[in-house]
Each structure stands twice: as structure tokens, then as C-alpha cells.
Structure 1
């Protein structure tokens, strides 16, 4: 099959979050299984050009219809660690992708509406006719709309669209100017509840809703999060739309790249190890302590790796820090805050705990250090408020770092409580799960994990190995996507 991904990110050349990892990892695995994959991306001025090999002109004069005129674009082509990527560069006074950042601009809606239009126009004029166009998040929500309403009448009637939602919180709420700009034009037609009209604001359009309504299949990134999206508030107002289109909606779990997140081959850690030589994990623990100036003692290391924001349960992260220290454990944190108030809060904690030999807070993100923390820590805590999939717990399991997670989204699909999971036999359980958002709930999971390390070390090691036995690589999710693509192309 011939698959084209259209997205706003692809790691490591463009990465702001987990979306970039998914686009790269999924593309790689699908290609490894014998299919042709191409990726279309914006050409940001701030992307990592050092990760692109052989960048060259692919289509010099792409004229994209925009309002009552056209915008001249160049399309470049290059390989990002083996993946064939096309980068669209508009030559416009709007400087859509010359902002020194990926997101966060006042005109983001127009920037990515243009990117969606340009990506489709590139497929159209270059005569690329993939079996399936795979779109990601709100930034590409208009692609299935324009494909169905416009481009299918010009030779693209056989293309099918799979639309993956990674985060329901950002939906691309916009006004009618997007219709005029893209050539969709008919305000009355699109300001309709059954099409693009936002479910709660009759004077706004919703790009993500457009993606749901017009695509051939919609999925989110874990089965449980798909259930939550329909029946709880995590879909941020799109629950009824998902219910109307439930017959084409499901959840497919993300994977992790086994060539990057694998203690057997990890070049960022001093000692590679596997399930049969966990004593080398202990050597990484010693190396982690030396790097972060932690005291060498008989205590478990509890870690948190990730953003410091409300979605990630930042209050519970803060509580986990002090609770771990109080319960005879060490604590390591690696993450950057998304709000100034949270950053100030944790800067204060870093200053207050600066001389504590059992604690280290690293405010920022360091890929190399993340690998060492996964390898050196004993327990990793993931207390998210909501979590569409989550990679942290899957990486932790691979590295023999026992996860303590809140039972939401993809966390509940991947971590099975040692004591209370009746759906899995004891030998298949791999961590600790709590469900409420209060401190007592967090403590119920963390206390069991820390206690098991202190008082039942053999049981703790058994739990580590049971976690390492799970395969959360891209192999199985990619096969599910391949089966889905095959189904769609024959619809």
C-alpha cells in the first residue's frame, strides 16, 4: 500500500510533544512491514535541519489557491532517519512558518489551514494518489473536508482518510475567514451542526470536528481513551459528534521505538542490560546518583519525567516528591513547566531542596538524562489528570522501572495493578494503579511500590521482569493500522 502522513510534527526534525514521536515511529514500522510511506510537513525555520539528509527541491513552483489569489510555495524533499519527508515552504508576506516556533501564534488556525490546503494541492498537482491519507490532530482537520468537498471532483475520489486525534483539548476553533481562504466559501453549508459548526458556539467552526465528520475513519491513541472521549469530558465537547460517528471511531494504542527506547542497545546509558542481567540496571542507578550528586544508600529512586502542567497532574507530582522523601525513598524529576506560575513553584522547590542528598529537580528537558533516569530509577510515577496514551509508563516498563499510574486513558491499557487487577493473572501484572485525584489515592499506589522495594525485594524484581516482558513497540499497533488502511482502501 501507499500511505501519506500529513502532520505538523515528525520527530526528531520537528518535535514539540508526543505527536512527532508517533508520526515517525508509526511510519518507520509500516515501512518496515513492506509498505510505501511518505510524510508531508511544514517547513519551519526553527526545525532541526541537521536531522535531514539530502534536502533538495522536489517541486519548485507550487501555486496554492488562497483567498482570491494564490501563494507561491516550494516543496523540498529529504530523508529524516530513513523516512521520506516533503517540506512545504510558502513564499508569503504572512511568513506562516518563519516564526521561530511551531505553535502558539495568534493566527495558528490560518497557518495550518493553509498547510492543509497546500498539502492537498501538492498531492493533486504532483499526481500522487495514495491509498490512504493519514491526518493527525486539529492542524490537519480540514484535509478530509477539502478532499470530499473539492478535490474528489478533480481526480482524487479514490483517496481515503484516516484521522488520528492525539489530544482533544486543542480543536482549531475558527471563524468563517477559513472558509473564504481555503475556497470552501459556502458559509451557510458549513455552519451546520452536522458539518463544521462547533457544538457549543454556533458562530464558530471546529476543524477537529470537520476531521471527525468527513474522514473515513477516526481513532484516538488508546482504546480506553476512545471510551473516555465518548462517555466523559475529555473530548472537550466533541462527545456527541463522536457518538454520531461511533461506527467509524476506535482507539489504537501508540507504541515506542524499540531502537531508541531499549536498554539492550541504548547508547545514552553507561551499562546496557536486559531481563537476564538486572544487576547492570543497578550499575546505572549508581551512575545516575553520581551524575545528580545523590547520596549512595539503600533506598529506591522514584522518578517523574514529563511536562509540568495540569494535564500531567502537577499537584500530585509535587506531593509524590515529598511523600517519597518522607517514605525513605529518593526522588528525581526531569521536566519543564508550561505555565509561569508552575515554573516559579518548582524553581522554589528546587532552591529549597538544593542541598537534600536524596532529591534532584532538573527543570528543563534533556534527552540523554531522560534515558539515564529510566535506566537508573526503580519506580516511575505518572499521575496524569488525563492521558490519551502516554509513553512514559511504556518506556518505564521496558527499562524495568515499575510504574505507579493513575487509571486513565492509555495508562489503564498498559499498566495492570499488582494487587487488584482481576483481569490479568498475577504473572501478567506489571505495576501499581490508583484512580482518584486526591493525595490519598496517590499514596495508596506509591506506598505499595516503595514498600515492596524495601520489604520484598524478590517480589519487586519479579514485578520488574514481568513489566519488561511486555512488548509495547510499534510492531502490533502498526499491524492494526495496516489492517485498517487495507479495509479503508476497499470501501
Structure 2
């Protein structure tokens, strides 16, 4: 099985969040399971220096005469071939910019010519999120089936159709409401949804949620049709078991039992001068999607019983609110994303807050449980699929009162030491490895390879 993953980021070469983590782990596990795996991603200006150029030349693609010179870089690691496409839109620092729809339209068009230049013909192309949507469309036009994974439906790669349609290189029939047109815009997310043989989300619950008006982001009608055709499923993300392993974590004093967990808590208290109250941690983008405004509003009650340690950045209003609280004791706020500190919070906190309004999968709750820290989560998406009531604590409404009530439940369990220790042990024993999800994707690839290509409106078979 020759599989090509296409994504905007891949750890450790480029990363801004969970998507990079997925592409940093899933391909290697699939390679270990016997697949021939290639990952294609942009060659950003500030990517690591170990990328070796293996091809340079002018690229030609139907309807795409303006791609110009393309450089292809390569890294091989853990049985995976990583290819990085060097195009003018990516010759600047940073991953994402205001003109990303144009940038990733060029990237999506360049993927297929790049594979052809290296004589690489995949059995399946697996695109991840809107930045890879166009690559799935071009693969389908070349007669290769695609799997398209929605990691977050909220971000769709939209631009006005007058300017955006030419960027894609696709013919005029591709811009109707049944294809890429979306309320007067071109949508690269729809390119992936419409042209893929199978659409997946990163958890079973999220696959059902996006069929509703609340979570469907205006695409629920299209998604309902895809689901009715048997082309929609949810496969829960795995967790990089090597990177997140309390037994061998270089960022903390490694531990494998409750005594080590207690020592990690003492170290975190000493680092920030915290008192003896239990610690509620959070490592997150500071955004309404993540419910961090809910956490901020719940602090007046939470600080009566908890120390609260938050690491993250994002919405300036939330950053300012957390800084204000940090001046009054029992709240620690560290702005930014610091890898080592994140590990120390996962290890040293007693509970972990994830009041997300929606959460396609979420990795933080898995990491927390692996480190013996019990999640307090809203009942949505992958949080439902991974946090059971006998380990963590769940709440429904998107309100500070509901979060505070769940934290009171956690506090009562914390006071009952046998109950708390049992929960911690159950959480640490859970297996969130990529082995199961990787095998599920390989089975899906075999299914789409054996089936007829998905019909697309306007495209003659």
C-alpha cells in the first residue's frame, strides 16, 4: 500500500498545534505496519536545515501554468519519506499568513506534479484539513482515490470565488454549489469533502456532531449527504507514546507510580510558590473554541479551592484577564507555548481543565491521563470518546457554573483518597497509542482502493 499524506505541518519539522502532532506520529506507525508512506508538506523558509534538495525544475499541471519553479526537499526518518515543496508563497518565516488561501491553493496544485517528478504513484492520497483539500481534488482527477480528514471544520480556506477560483487551476464546472462554491466563495475544505472517496473526522462523536447546525459550520447539508452515502466516519487520534511518557520524560523527573506523581506535584508547587490546595492545570490556545473564557469567568469560585496554572496564548482579552488574576494569588499564567513547562504541568497538576465549546479530538486529555492528571472536560467531540466517568469529570452546558460544578465533583473525589488513586491508576493504564487508529486508516485505504472512484458533479466518469 503506497500512501501519500498531505498536510500543512508535520512535527518536528513544522508545527502549530495538534495537526502537526498527528502527522508526526501516524505515518511512522503506518510504516511500521507495512505501508510505504510518504508525507508531503510545504518547505517553509524557517524549516529545519536537515532537508536535502532532491529535485528542482519547472512544474506543469493542467490549468496550472503559473506554478513556476518548484524545489523538492527530502528527509527520511523511521521508515517514512518526508517531501517538502518549495514554492514562492512559502519563502517567508512562519507557517500561516493572511493570504493562506492563495498559498495553499498553489501548494495543493503542486503536490501531484511533484509526485510525478519523482515517479511516485500512490495508491491513496490522504489529505488533512482544508490546506490539503485541493491535493485530494487533483488526485481524484488523476484517477487516484483520496481520504480527507477534517481536523477542525471551523477553518475552511474560503476566498471570494472571482479571485479564488483561478488559483485552484480547476475548470469552470468545479465551481457550483455541489462542488467548490460556498456562498459566493471558493472553499478548499469543500474540495476535500467533495472529491474524497472517504471523509473522516478525528473522533466518532465529532463525525456525528458536524451533521448538526450547531457544529456543521454551514456544511451540514453536504456532510449529511456524504454520511448517507456511507462516506463519513470518525477515527480517534492516537497519542505519541514516546514523546508523552512519564516514565522516560526528559522534561520532568520521570515516574511510573503514584509516589512519582506526588513528587511531580511538589516540584510544580515549588516552581510557582503554590500553597497546599490541589492544582488545576490548563495548556491551551486561549480561544473561545477552547472555552478559556469560561475558565476565566469561573476563576472567582475555582480559586477558593484550587491553585490554577495556565499555559497558553491567543486572544489578547483572555491573556489580559489571566494576567490580572495572576496578580491576586492562586492563579499562575505563563504566556506562550513552552514545551518543557507543558510537560511539568501535565505531570504536576492534579486535574486538567478542558471546557471546550467543541473539540474534534483533543490530545491534552489523553496526555493528562497518561501522566495521572484527571481531566475536567465538557461533553463534546473527542472528549466524550476518551474521558470516561470512572476516570475524569464531565459537564454539559458551556457555562462557568457548569465548569465549577464539575470541579467541585473533582474536589470531592480528591478528598476521597482511595477513589482518587483508583481514578489515577485507571487513567494511567489507558492505551491511546496510534496502533489502532493507524490500522483503521490502512483498512479504510484498502476499502477506497477496491471501490469505484466517487462520482463528482460535472466530472464525466
With structure 1 as the length reference, what TM-score do the two structures score? Answer: 0.87
Residues 1:160 and 1:68: Cα distance change in structure 2 (over 3 Å): closer
- SS class of match (1:133): strand
- How big is each residue's C-alpha offset from its partner over 1:112-157, in whole Å with a ceiling of 9 and x where there is no partner? 01101111111123221111111011111112222333xx2xxxx2
**Partner in structure 2 of residue 97 of structure 1:** 90
Q: 1:273 aligns with which of 242, 255, 277?
A: 255
How many residues align? The count is 447
- SS class of match (1:404): strand
Where do 1:201-220 residues align within 5 Å? 201=183, 203-220=184-201
Q: Kindly indicate whether residue 42 of structure 2 is the aligned counterpart of residue 59 of structure 1.
A: no
Identify the range of structure 1 (68-77 vs 115-124) with the bigger mean alpha-carbon deviation. 68-77
Q: Kindly indicate whether residue 115 of structure 2 is the aligned counterpart of residue 119 of structure 1.
A: no
Deviation at residue 323 of structure 1 after TM alignment: 2.5
**Partner in structure 2 of residue 425 of structure 1:** none
Q: Kindly indicate whether residue 441 of structure 2 is the aligned counterpart of residue 441 of structure 1.
A: no
Where do 1:6-85 residues align within 5 Å? 6-47=6-47, 49=48, 52=50, 55-65=51-61, 68-79=65-76, 83-85=80-82
- SS class of match (2:309): strand
- How big is each residue's C-alpha offset from its partner over 1:314-346, in whole Å with a ceiling of 9 and x where there is no partner? 22221344323212x221111112x22222222
1:196/1:209 contact within 8 Å kept = yes
**Partner in structure 2 of residue 308 of structure 1:** 286
Cα distance between partner residues in 2 of 1:89 and 1:124: 16
1:64/1:117 contact within 8 Å kept = no
1:64/1:72 contact within 8 Å kept = no
Cα distance between partner residues in 1 of 2:443 and 2:165: 34
* Contiguous gaps of at least 5 residues in structure 1: 418-428
1:303/1:377 contact within 8 Å kept = yes
1:197/1:205 contact within 8 Å kept = yes
Deviation at residue 439 of structure 1 after TM alignment: 2.1
Deviation at residue 191 of structure 1 after TM alignment: 2.6
Cα distance between partner residues in 1 of 2:411 and 2:234: 33
- How big is each residue's C-alpha offset from its partner over 1:287-338, in whole Å with a ceiling of 9 and x where there is no partner? 111222223x3x21111111111101122221344323212x221111112x
**Partner in structure 2 of residue 294 of structure 1:** 274
Deviation at residue 204 of structure 1 after TM alignment: 1.7
**Partner in structure 2 of residue 344 of structure 1:** 320
1:311/1:384 contact within 8 Å kept = yes
CA RMSD of aligned residues (A): 1.7
The structure with higher relative contact order (CA 8 Å, sep 6+) is 2
2:125/2:139 contact within 8 Å kept = no
**Partner in structure 2 of residue 484 of structure 1:** 444
Cα distance between partner residues in 1 of 2:214 and 2:60: 38
Residues 1:484 and 1:142: Cα distance change in structure 2 (over 3 Å): same
Q: 1:331 aligns with which of 308, 313, 327?
A: 308
Q: 1:168 aligns with which of 153, 167, 170?
A: 153
Deviation at residue 239 of structure 1 after TM alignment: 0.4
